[in-house]
Structure 1
């Protein structure tokens, strides 16, 4: 990897981190950038997962105090996300990809539509929370995150906004926290058993950390409805892109 390519990957990582925090589709930028840098598809996928841990680290470092009120629940949620991430990474390394990849666009489209319908869904739910569905949903989404990852932030955000009454800003922080846990455990597995390109991962992670750091202040000043609808539209677009490629 040349110095110029390294720097371009850092820049791509920054925009992937920022856009990924706001919309949950960092991989739409980071994965093609790694392919353009010369990595083969499987190496680009696992390298991307390792590098995208930095987005959550950066955003959590800049807004971690907002998570403190959840206390012990954070431990449970982290355990669910970690278990799902491990299972997803194992599926990627040990099983054929074809069958699961067929379902990916439909899963992502469903999450995106639920985001668009979130106000109506919350109205139907009233003040109810979903203490059993919520952690199970986290684990299921984390399996997807450990396996493929593209759009996992959209899925986590949809789950949080539909199953709880959290504001979009705090939901984005929780989404980032859950994503970094799932990605981290998957990244450890990939580091031990997968074809990670470490120089490319370092370049992408440097930019992604900076982008993730800038994410919470950006979301805080944007209108909640605009963020929710924009994320949903991006999710539908990503689902369509994945279905056609």
Structure 2
């Protein structure tokens, strides 16, 4: 990799780590960056997933105060994320590369739609909290399977996994959004870790990419946990949407 590419991938990792901690769509930054530098789609996806594991852990540590009193909830939902992330990683490996290349634009569009409408989703989640007080500590019955499905999606690709988790938990669990965001960071870390472990053993991994994204995402995870919540959500959404559109253009023109 050239010095320019090294710096670009490192900075993309910082941005992804920050955004994943605060919003949950960092893959829409790192993935198209890797594609722009000629990394094959599947290799870019698996290397990106492994590289973002340290950042996910960093973000979870940064939110440790919001995790207090949620041990049983986190443990229960972690099982769903572990199983879902495993299933998603296996799907990525067993499906032909052509299928992945056909599905990625759809996944990016889905991620962009979720990001664009995130403020409306958050407002709706807040109204649900007001209207459905007294939910069980672990949430309604469908929260666990919904977290599992989100884990499958995260293990397969991962863009906007955090937004999906926040929508699921925000509707089904009576808790503040900041505390749910702390849980989201733990669950995303589990999905990335189990998928990354599988990819490291059997997939084609670019370890230089993993190292650069890993270092950047750790820094970004701490930034997201400390100052990310003060950044205007609109600015983050605009950046993610623009990068996502670049990714779509790359897929459609190559």
Scaled by the length of structure 2, what TM-score is found?
0.81
* Contact map agreement 2:47 2:210 (CA 8 A) in 1: yes
Residue 133 of structure 2 is matched in structure 1 by 127
Residue 22 of structure 1 and its aligned partner are, at CA, apart by 2.1
Aligned length: 241
Residue 53 of structure 1 is matched in structure 2 by 53
Distance 1:94 1:167, change over 3 A: same
Distance 1:36 1:234, change over 3 A: closer
* Contact map agreement 1:112 1:231 (CA 8 A) in 2: no
Q: What is the CA RMSD across the aligned residues, in angstroms? A: 2.9
CA distance in 2, matches of 1:115, 1:40: 33
- Which stretch of structure 1 is more off in the superposition, 167-176 or 197-206? 167-176
Residue 75 of structure 1 is matched in structure 2 by 75
* Secondary structure of 1:196's aligned partner: coil
Distance 1:196 1:17, change over 3 A: same
* Contact map agreement 2:29 2:244 (CA 8 A) in 1: no
CA distance in 1, matches of 2:142, 2:162: 18
Residue 195 of structure 1 is matched in structure 2 by 204
Instruction: Describe the superposition over 1:32-63 as per-residue Cα deviations: whole angstroms up to 9, x where unpaired.
Output: 22223432111111101111112211112222
Residue 239 of structure 1 and its aligned partner are, at CA, apart by 7.6
Instruction: Describe the superposition over 1:105-149 as per-residue Cα deviations: whole angstroms up to 9, x where unpaired.
Output: 575436864751443455354215343111111111010000011
1:116 pairs with one of 120, 143, 162: 120
Residue 104 of structure 1 is matched in structure 2 by 107
Distance 1:111 1:133, change over 3 A: farther
Residue 204 of structure 1 and its aligned partner are, at CA, apart by 0.9
Instruction: Describe the superposition over 1:138-180 as per-residue Cα deviations: whole angstroms up to 9, x where unpaired.
Output: 1110100000111111111222222234333223222211111
- Which stretch of structure 1 is more off in the superposition, 24-33 or 140-149? 24-33
* Contact map agreement 2:17 2:59 (CA 8 A) in 1: no
* Contact map agreement 1:25 1:234 (CA 8 A) in 2: no
Residue 10 of structure 2 is matched in structure 1 by 10
> 5+ residue gaps in structure 2?
none
> 5+ residue gaps in structure 1?
none
* Contact map agreement 1:154 1:235 (CA 8 A) in 2: no
* Secondary structure of 2:68's aligned partner: helix
Scaled by the length of structure 1, what TM-score is found?
0.83
